Amino acid sequence: MLPFAVEEYQTRLRHVKDRMDQQGLAVLVVSDPANMNYLTGYDGWSFYVPQAIIVALHQDEPLWIGRAQDANGARLTCWMRDEAIRPYADTYVQSPTQHPMDYVAQVLAEEHLLEGVIGLEMDAYYFTARSYQRLQEQLPHATLKDATLLVNWVRLIKSDQEIHYIQQAAAIVTQAMDTALHVIKPGVRECDAAAEIFRSQIRGTHTISGDYPAIVPLIPSGPRTSAAHLTWTDRRYEMGDAVNIEIAGCVRRYHCPLSRSVVIGPASHHLKSLAAVVVDGVNAALNTVRPGITCGEVEESWQHHLKRHGYFKESRLGYPFGLNYPPDWGEHTASLRSGDLTVLQPNMVFHLIAGMWLDGYGLEISEPFRVTPRGVETLTDVERQLLVIND
């Protein structure tokens, strides 16, 4: 069963075509698996080989192009008619002489879609330099243009059904964070804690099943908390350890990320002091959120607060999230960053992540939030502070 009504997919398609028209594109070749899912419903772990959908201004349905053994998966998960499923033979897979983009070029020619400008997601993770090279070789007279993030910007404002899945993912990440607080204790290996957290993420709640998140649990401890984006080791936790936990719930590929820092036993003075500043800064930033202000204004309130206490955070404060596949749950569009003029609108969702990575230690406290007509709605209710594990 489709996660959304066909009418919602068709509405998304219309919005994408409007942007295509504004940018002078007659055709868009979409290779980002999240964008493929957004426009068609396709959901399979097949993005390790080239695949795409073709959106043409004057065609009612997108065309799905992928490996032949994945065609039944497309028929089971896509809203389009079977005629829109266009599989390529296995001889194209990891071949030194053929490439799946050769087949994409063939379909474009068969569908008479070579007259106008063709947009490509040239900076998508799964669109390679060779993919672009083969399209150039196969379509020597076509006009190819970079259309990276065109679909992503359409995704920025969520539908009510998308918000529902994100709220379900929020319930899962809340439970997974509680699992983390129960399994992290002296003598436990980081890898064992990660396994229990992962189990909680995928198992979900009694009423909501979890999906695999786009990012694995990031749970560095001790001095490794001074670095972002580290996973786990076989190190055993010790009394006095701080642990940064960054995880997400995922439902129907829709994420809700959350970060907290915990300490096993009494926290050091410098960590408690940093946590107090960060929590107050997060509160200040959230209090600015409302429709009509810019992303940059949210970040400025945070930086103003940090400056008063002698701190500065160089990296951005947050980003939009939602539908995605590995390696990221972010949407790559707006940023809670100085100078970003993106105006907040209802049903945008952001991960406000106050990560501070200093010499020898660090701390992460985040809040996923939804912009509402009246202001802000935080999506989880995990206590917003440095959490203490007393063993």
Q: List, in sequence order, every residue forming a beta bridge with 351; answer none if it has no partner.
A: 319, 368
Cα 194 to Cα 181, 217, 225, 351, distances in angstroms = 12, 6, 15, 22
Distance between CA atoms of residues 332 and 35, nearest Å: 12
Looking at the fold, whether 281 and 164 belong to one and the same domain comes out as yes
- Please say whether the beta carbons of 82 and 72 come within 8 A: no
Domain extent, residue 17, equals 6-154
Is the domain of 175 the same as that of 96?
no
Please indicate, yes or no, whether the overall pTM of this predicted structure exceeds 0.85.
Answer: yes
What's the CATH code of the domain at 83? 3.40.350.10
Q: For the chain, how many structural domains are there in total?
A: 2
316 plus 265 within the same structural domain: yes
CA 18 centroid distance within chain: 24
Sign of CA dihedral 131, 132, 138, 143: positive
Whether 1 maps to a domain, the answer reads no
Amino acid at 150: L
- Tens digit of pLDDT at every position of the chain (391 positions): 899 999 999 999 999 999 999 999 999 999 999 999 999 999 999 999 999 999 999 999 999 999 999 999 999 999 999 999 999 999 999 999 999 999 999 999 999 999 999 999 999 999 999 999 999 999 999 999 999 999 999 999 999 999 999 999 999 999 999 999 999 999 999 999 999 999 999 999 999 999 999 999 999 999 999 999 999 999 999 999 999 999 999 999 999 999 999 999 999 999 999 999 999 999 999 999 999 999 999 999 999 999 999 998 899 999 999 999 999 999 999 999 999 999 999 999 999 999 999 999 999 999 999 999 999 999 999 999 999 998 6
Token readout for 60 is 């009612």
Render 300-329 in DSSP notation, one character per residue: HHHHHHHHHTT----S-SEEEB-B--TT-S
User: Which secondary structure element, helix H or strand E, spans residue 334, and what is its range?
Assistant: none
Single residue among 128, 154, 180 that ends a domain in this structure: 154
CATH code for the domain in which residue 298 is found:
3.90.230.10
Select from 154, 171, 190 the last residue of a domain.
154
Q: Is 349 helix (H, G, I), strand (E, B) or coil?
A: strand
